[in-house]
Homo-oligomer: A and B are copies of this chain.
Amino acid sequence: MSDTRTNAGVDNVSKFRKMFTWEKPGERVITILTAGNLATTQAVISLLDERLKAPEDRNPSIMAATTMFQVANLVGDTLKEVIRTQGSDGPESESPFGATMIVGGQIAGIGPRLFLVYPEGNFIEASEETPFFQAGETKYGRPILLRAYNPKMTFEEAIKLLYVSFDSTLKANLSVGMPLDLQTIETDACKVAAQRRVEENDPYFTTISSRWGDALKLAFNSLPDYEF
């Protein structure tokens, strides 16, 4: 799940998609979620796209890479290169050019994999101990993920948890805003299973947001009060 708000100061807020998918159903599906400087992330996505059209380039394309590890490597190299280029020989920017990307997907024959790519170009992979990644404005939504996530959850429950976590962040921080993009990938089918844009008036999101506030207050009231 990703939001769509970007800003260059509070008086310059816009909406941009932060979720990008490359798909050849049955053979591979790759999704990238971006956080950080918009010029950087757009340049990375454009470069990855351009390489698809010029496959004889010295760099392979993400649609030609043979493993998800190679895909993450490609994304990392491209990200590092873009940041290096933008950072050198130009006027200094007030804000850094950094960006972080979550890269997930599957190439047929190997299990699905999930990576977090740093601005330095290196990356880490999700594991049993750390099965999920966040990027960008991560802190507000993290406590509920830590408390409620359970590897035995169904997808329906996991998506509910995403909604609750994003709702906590939306309530607390103006730099994150609706609409949200939601996507699930079907293991071994190597294709997008469900994809939708969650708008401000989305009935399920509205239900979760208002009922979560009430449920939290009930949960809080169920605890014993402090005694002096």
A213 at the interface (CB under 8 A from B): yes
Q: How far is the CB of A24 from chain B (nearest CB, A)?
A: 23
Is A110 interfacial (CB 8 A cutoff)?
no
- Contact string against B for A residues 117-156, beta-carbon threshold 8 Å, 1 for contact and 0 otherwise: 0000000000000000000000111111011100000111
Known contacts A143-B168, A172-B139; A215 and B226 CB within 8 A of each other: no
Does A74 make an interface contact (CB < 8 A)?
A: no
How far apart are A221's CB and chain B's nearest CB, in angstroms? 8
Q: Across the two chains, which residue of chain B brings its CB closest to A143?
A: B168
- The prevalent SS among residues of A at the interface is helix
Residue of B nearest to A222 (CB): B215
A84 within 8 A of B: no
Query: For residue A147, which residue of chain B has the nearest CB?
Result: B216
Contacts A212-B223, A215-B223 given; does A228 touch B194 at CB 8 Å: yes
User: With A156-B225, A164-B220, A226-B160 known to touch, is A142 a contact of B140 (CB < 8 Å)?
Assistant: yes
Q: Hey, which chain B residues are within 8 Å of A157, CB to CB?
A: 225-226
6 contacts between A and B (CB under 8 A): A143-B143, A143-B144, A156-B226, A156-B228, A160-B225, A208-B224
